[in-house]
């Protein structure tokens, strides 16, 4: 019995030892493959950064092309790198998840980070990239929609696909007027320049945002990212819907670009504590500032509601700003936020409006943010401010 016990224990030990060896034997192979793929991605990144087409082609599977590489040649890159986050191998094929990080020279304080999915094949000589596409639910990059044309302004970089140089220059001129206008209103340091992306169509805009086109139909432009004063935050991009933007008049185009530029400038102080009526209202306030537009001219939907005896009972809620909702309701939300910021500027002054904006965003959490800022900066309460806003609407729009 004792001998059999020792034999049994020895057998168990052998099984355990084989299990450990098998486990240890499998990991180096996986680690080696991951290390090899990372090296391929490093070479690919260096090729993009140094505009080396031959080196880029050497990382591609033989049937792959270089259209994407050539499409981004006009983009002034300061950095481009991949970080492998996962590798799933099946024989001579593998699927890699990676983070692409890049910076536009002279504009991005920190890398823009986008998730990518790469498919690779092993041809005996090493791993090669068969495809490099956005990860699930991630947006496409502008150069994946066609060859990028770049136009530099005094305060802007405009990158477009399917657009003439002349048209891109007109966007740069608008952005160059928007930046000083925002700096004059917003008395907090910011980068003082913007990157504007102009895709070929509404569908192209939606592709950049990773959303269906229906979500942005009728929306002239949006700002994406979380840039600003934080060195850790990626840069904003103003993304234009050329279809909706194209039907605007000269003033409308300028107001939209100034509005979006305001979002870039205020990003460091725009947090989860900031309600949309304030962030969108402030951006509209800066956009219309100095334009000479009256409330009756700039808030037609809200005026219609006031004249019909439907003066809003409360400031717009975040859900009122949904792009897929009722267009009139969306317009009233923007107009209501603008009128609230206009009220603060008229009654308490522009400096207090900026102070109020920062105080709300710096609160850290939504609950109590507006109430505390109303108390500390404007020395009022939510109830009194709402009543003053409703009176202001009737006075200005009635």
Order across the sheet with 156-161: list the strands. 148-152, 156-161, 194-198, 237-240, 221-224
* 136, 164, 191 - which closes a domain: 136
The residues pairing with 152 across neighbouring beta strands, listed in sequence order, are 157
Same domain, 152 and 255: yes
pLDDT at 189: 85
Is the pLDDT assigned to residue 24 strictly greater than 60?
Answer: no
pLDDT at 225: 67
Pull the structure tokens for residue 336: 């209501």
- The verdict on residue 317 lying in a domain is yes
pLDDT at 30: 59
| Rounded distance between C-alpha atoms, residue 294 and residue 396, angstroms | 9
pLDDT at 27: 46
- Radius of gyration of the chain measured on its C-alpha atoms: 27
Residues 6+ apart with CB under 8 A from 55: 43, 46, 47
- The verdict on residue 192 lying in a domain is yes
Same domain, 282 and 394: yes
Pull the structure tokens for residue 310: 């439907």
- The verdict on residue 203 lying in a domain is yes
Residues 25-76: tens digit of each pLDDT: 444 555 799 999 999 999 999 999 999 999 999 999 988 789 999 999 999 9
- The verdict on residue 212 lying in a domain is yes
CATH number of 171's domain = 3.30.2010.30
- The verdict on residue 14 lying in a domain is no
- The verdict on residue 11 lying in a domain is no
3-state secondary structure of 253: helix
Same domain, 64 and 36: yes
Is the pLDDT assigned to residue 228 strictly greater than 50?
Answer: no
3-state secondary structure of 367: coil
Is the pLDDT assigned to residue 358 strictly greater than 90?
Answer: yes
Q: Mean per-residue pLDDT for 168-197?
A: 95
Same domain, 131 and 146: no
Order across the sheet with 93-104: list the strands. 77-90, 93-104, 112-122, 127-134
* 136, 169, 196 - which closes a domain: 136
The residues pairing with 238 across neighbouring beta strands, listed in sequence order, are 196, 223
- The verdict on residue 22 lying in a domain is no
Same domain, 228 and 315: no
Same domain, 224 and 260: yes
3-state secondary structure of 44: helix
Same domain, 154 and 130: no
Same domain, 277 and 398: yes
pLDDT at 272: 93
Question: If you average pLDDT over every residue of the chain, what do you get?
Answer: 89
Global confidence as pTM: 0.87
Same domain, 250 and 290: no
CATH number of 340's domain = 1.10.390
pLDDT at 18: 28
Same domain, 103 and 42: yes
Same domain, 219 and 307: no
Residue 313, domain extent: 270-398
Residues 139-181: tens digit of each pLDDT: 999 999 999 999 999 999 999 999 999 999 999 999 999 999 9
pLDDT at 64: 79
| Rounded distance between C-alpha atoms, residue 313 and residue 336, angstroms | 11
Count the domains in the chain. 3
Residues 98-119: tens digit of each pLDDT: 999 999 999 988 888 999 999 9
CATH number of 127's domain = 3.10.450.50
Same domain, 397 and 276: yes
* 267, 301, 334 - which closes a domain: 267
The owner of tokens 């006031």 is 306
- The verdict on residue 36 lying in a domain is yes
């Amino acid at each position: 019995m004792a001998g059999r016990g020792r034999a049994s224990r020895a057998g168990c030990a052998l099984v355990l030892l084989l299990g450990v060896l098998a486990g240890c034997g499998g990991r180096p192979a996986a680690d080696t493959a991951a290390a090899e793929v990372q090296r391929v991605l490093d070479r690919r990144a260096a090729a993009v950064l140094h505009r080396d087409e031959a080196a880029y082609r050497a990382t591609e599977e033989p049937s792959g092309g270089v259209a994407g590489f050539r499409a981004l040649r006009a983009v002034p890159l300061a950095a481009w790198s991949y970080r492998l986050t996962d590798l799933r191998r099946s024989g001579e094929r593998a699927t890699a998840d990676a983070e692409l990080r890049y910076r536009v020279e002279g504009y991005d304080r920190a890398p823009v980070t986008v998730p990518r999915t790469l498919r690779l094949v092993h041809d005996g000589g090493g791993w090669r990239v068969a495809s490099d596409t956005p990860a699930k639910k991630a947006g496409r990059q502008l150069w994946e929609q066609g060859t990028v044309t770049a136009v530099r302004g005094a305060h802007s970089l405009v990158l477009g696909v399917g657009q003439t140089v002349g048209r891109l220059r007109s966007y740069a001129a608008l952005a160059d007027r928007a930046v000083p206008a925002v700096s004059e209103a917003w008395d907090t340091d910011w980068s003082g320049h913007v990157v504007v992306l102009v895709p070929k169509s509404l569908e192209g805009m939606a592709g950049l945002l990773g959303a269906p086109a229906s979500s942005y139909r009728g929306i002239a432009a949006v700002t994406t990212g979380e840039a600003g004063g934080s060195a850790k935050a990626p840069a904003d991009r103003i993304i234009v819907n050329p279809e909706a933007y194209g039907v605007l008049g000269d003033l409308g185009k300028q107001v939209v670009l100034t509005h979006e530029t305001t979002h870039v400038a205020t990003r460091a102080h725009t947090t989860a504590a900031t309600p949309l009526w304030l962030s969108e209202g402030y951006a509209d306030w800066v956009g219309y500032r100095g334009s000479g537009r009256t409330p009756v001219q700039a808030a037609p939907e809200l005026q219609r509601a006031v004249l019909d005896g439907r003066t809003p009972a409360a400031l717009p809620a975040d859900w009122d700003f949904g792009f897929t909702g009722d267009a009139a309701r969306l317009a009233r939300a923007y107009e209501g936020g603008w009128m609230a910021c206009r009220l603060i500027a008229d009654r308490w002054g522009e400096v207090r409006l900026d102070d109020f904006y920062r105080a709300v965003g710096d609160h850290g959490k939504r609950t109590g943010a507006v109430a505390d800022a109303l108390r500390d900066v404007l020395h009022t309460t939510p109830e009194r401010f709402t009543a003053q806003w409703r009176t202001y609407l009737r006075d200005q729009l009635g």
